[in-house]
């Protein structure tokens, strides 16, 4: 279910709970409507509201923390890709095939992950299925990135400088691969569905109580509806933050696009020409 769909379901259930309370109110015996009983219901309702608000705030904090972690990892991933490309460029002409494969991988990753945005220019990178339901893992992208590592492993360095560069390239590629898998895992939602269903049940009971004790006038109904909208919107934010690559609140693609722009820059001309 999408983030908006989840919020709409919660909204309908809350209003349904209120409607059920309104329907049950005339069936209550007269002694259940006494002032002492209403005071007790209000006391218990206040505790439920406080507890539900605390749980919602904790879920929001947890989802925001997961989103921030995934954002930081994406920035680190883009920085590692830039460093890998720069080291390949320093290695010399023998690394051009690896650099080209790395550029194709970066462009394909951008196009498949942020499908709602403009794809990178050019048509030399493969079009792979986009991210859906928080899934980032792709066999095609994994194979394309693995081909970069295979090319690096096949380098034949000449001299100490290239040998040192090859060792650094191997370390950088291992870091890129590890960060990629960490991002794949972070793309999955972390909210427990049974816990979320239980929280929704608590909220339904709260709104059912509203229907039992609220006066029958337009202002009371409007305030209950506004409360349902507020809670549903908070649920939407929580679910959307929990899936950082889908929905409306997604990790920005700026860092990956910056990495691709660095890779596409031409080689800088030599500042000093050898003496003739």
Query: Per mean pLDDT, which range of 70-79, 135-144, 164-173, 209-218 is the poorest?
Result: 135-144
Asked whether the beta carbons of 46 and 145 are under 8 A apart, the reply is: no
pLDDT bin (cut points 50, 70, 90) of residue 129 is low
- 186 pLDDT above the threshold of 90: no
DSSP summary character for residue 152:
H
Among 23-32, 119-128, 241-250, where is mean pLDDT lowest?
23-32
Determine the Cα–Cα distance for residues 157 and 274; give it in Å rounded to an integer: 24
Place of tokens 């000449």: 158
Structure tokens, 120:
């990178």
8-17, 18-27, 142-151, range with the lowest pLDDT: 18-27
| pLDDT tier for residue 128 given thresholds of 50, 70 and 90 | confident
Q: Which pLDDT band holds residue 271 (cuts at 50, 70, 90)?
A: very low
pLDDT at 274 over 80: no
Residue 270 has pLDDT above 50, yes or no: no
Give how far Cα 221 sits from Cα of 17, 212, 216, Å: 13, 12, 8
Residue 116 has pLDDT above 90, yes or no: no
**128 or 21: which carries more pLDDT confidence?**
21
Element (H, E) at 253: none
Position 192 pLDDT exceeds 90:
no
For residue 132, the cross-strand partners are 135
pLDDT of 133 above 80 = no
The residue among 276 and 218 whose pLDDT is bigger is 218
- Judged by DSSP in three states, 135 sits in strand
Q: Residue 82 and residue 105: Cα distance in Å, rounded?
A: 13
Q: What is the mean pLDDT of residues 234-241?
A: 92
Residue 261 has pLDDT above 90, yes or no: yes
Say whether pLDDT at 163 is over 60. Answer: yes
Mean pLDDT of 34-41: 75
| Residue 35 or 269, more confident | 35
List the single range of 71-75, 117-121, 190-194, 254-258 with lowest mean pLDDT.
190-194
Per-residue pLDDT, averaged over 182-192, amounts to: 85
* CB count in 10 Å sphere of residue 131: 18
Q: Identify the band that residue 1 occupies on the pLDDT scale cut at 50, 70 and 90.
A: low
pLDDT band at 135 (very low <50, low <70, confident <90, very high): low
Q: What is the mean pLDDT of the chain?
A: 86
């Amino acid at each position: 279910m999408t983030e908006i769909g989840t919020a709409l379901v919660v909204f309908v259930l809350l209003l349904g709970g209120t409607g059920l309370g309104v329907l049950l109110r005339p069936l209550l015996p007269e002694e259940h409507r006494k002032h002492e009983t209403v005071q007790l219901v209000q006391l218990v309702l206040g505790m439920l509201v406080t507890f539900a608000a605390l749980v919602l705030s904790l879920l929001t904090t947890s989802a925001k923390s997961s989103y921030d972690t995934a954002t930081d990892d994406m920035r680190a991933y883009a920085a590692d890709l830039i460093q890998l490309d720069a080291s390949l460029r320093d290695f010399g002409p023998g690394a051009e095939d690896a650099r080209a494969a790395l550029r194709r991988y970066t462009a394909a990753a951008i196009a498949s992950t942020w499908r709602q945005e403009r794809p990178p220019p050019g048509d030399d990178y493969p079009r792979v299925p986009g991210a859906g339901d928080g899934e980032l893992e792709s066999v095609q992208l994994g194979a394309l990135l693995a081909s970069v590592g295979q090319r690096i492993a096949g380098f034949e360095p000449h001299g100490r400088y290239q040998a040192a560069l090859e060792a650094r390239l191997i370390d950088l590629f291992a870091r890129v691969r590890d960060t990629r898998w960490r991002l794949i895992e972070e793309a999955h939602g972390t909210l427990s569905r049974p816990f979320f269903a239980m929280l929704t049940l608590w909220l339904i009971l709260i709104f059912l109580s509203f229907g039992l004790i609220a006066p029958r006038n337009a202002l009371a109904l409007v305030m209950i509806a506004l409360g349902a909208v507020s809670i549903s919107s908070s649920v939407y934010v929580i679910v959307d933050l929990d899936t950082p690559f889908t929905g409306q609140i997604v990790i920005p693609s700026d860092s990956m696009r910056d990495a691709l722009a660095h890779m596409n820059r031409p080689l800088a001309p030599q500042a000093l020409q050898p003496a003739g």
